[in-house]
Amino acid sequence: MKKTRLDQYLATQHKHYSRTQIKKLIDDGFVLVNGEKRKPSFLLHGGESIEMVRRAPEIPKAEAEEIPLDILYEDDDLLVINKAAGMVVHPAPGHYKGTLVSAILHHLGTPTTPPPKLGGGWEGVRPGIVHRLDKGTTGVMVVAKSDVVQRRLAQQFKDRKIEKTYQALVFGAFKQKAGTIDFAIGRDTIHRKKFSSRTKFARDAVTHWKAARSFAGLTLLEIALETGRTHQIRVHLSETRHPIVGDSAYGAKSHLSSIKDEALRAHLESLTRPMLHAWKLAFRHPKNEQRLSFEAPLPEDFRSVIESLP
């Protein structure tokens, strides 16, 4: 047997648990290897006795909630929405209510009657979801209404045939008008909630950017993703010294001092989320192969920042 991390092995054996749930089980001592508590990074060589003891983690369940949706398009097979800032896409530890999935379930059914065929199944945590946006990111998302459509959309994402274009306001100026950021990223070895190039399990990540407008100390970028890794845009821009305005997790605060205008600096400091917007999404309809393209306008908070710039 090839050496395998304990948390990775358990994740493959218990796919109804998330990696976060598996890690918490191990950290809390509810997983024993040969009768002993181990760390999630413990390497298995093969032949060990692994036991889950005392309890299993709570498995979040998606439930319908009456939450407004900004619907850009809908047919019998799919739903395209403009996700609001602050909305988590699917239930997860700490975010069981108020999710996009809950809003979609209510839209397609009722609180007591589940939709008849939502992709991924009514009992799943991520019914209909084929891609996601971070909690603070706004913009276009597509949702599948059936398992067939979900599989076909997922294959388009896997084959990199989905066209994804973002807008991001970042710190700093660029010497070139366009470029590509190409380096692998993964979960950070120290800060487990973050992603970076400092990782043991890197995956390729490619981000294409174009400078749309330049301001005093800031640049509005148009970004096309070739890959779709977690936090990819945020990590790539942060590690190239152009963190996204408002992205406190990836270095935005340390760049505020570069803004000389006091009123503007105070405005940027008051932002509670990254100025990152999933602007456009284009793909082939999973049933009739027709090319579909959707665009979501900048949200009010993002737009107000742009309008305040000199």
Enzyme catalytic residues: 134
Confirm if 83 and 139 have CB atoms less than 8 A apart: yes
User: Could you tell me where the DSSP H helices lie in the chain?
Assistant: 6-13, 19-27, 100-108, 147-158, 232-239, 262-269, 300-308
Residue 250 has φ and ψ, to the nearest 5°, of -125, 40
Beta strand pairing status for 50-52 and 43-44? unpaired
Angle at 230 between CA 223 and CA 5, to 5 degrees: 150
Look at phi and psi of residue 121 and say left if phi exceeds 0, alpha if psi is from -120 to 50, else beta.
left
How far apart are the C-alpha atoms of 173 and 274, rounded to whole Å?
18
CB burial readout 170-203, b (16+ within 10 A) else e:
bbeebeeeeeebeeebbbbeeeeebbbeebeebe
Half-sphere exposure of 266 (CA within 13 A, CB side): 3
Among 243, 237, 251, residue whose Cα is nearest residue 208? 237
d(CA 55, CA 103): 31
Q: What is the enclosing helix (H) or strand (E) of 296?
A: none
Note whether 159 and 227 are within 8 A (CB): no
What are the residues facing 223 on neighbouring strands?
166, 209
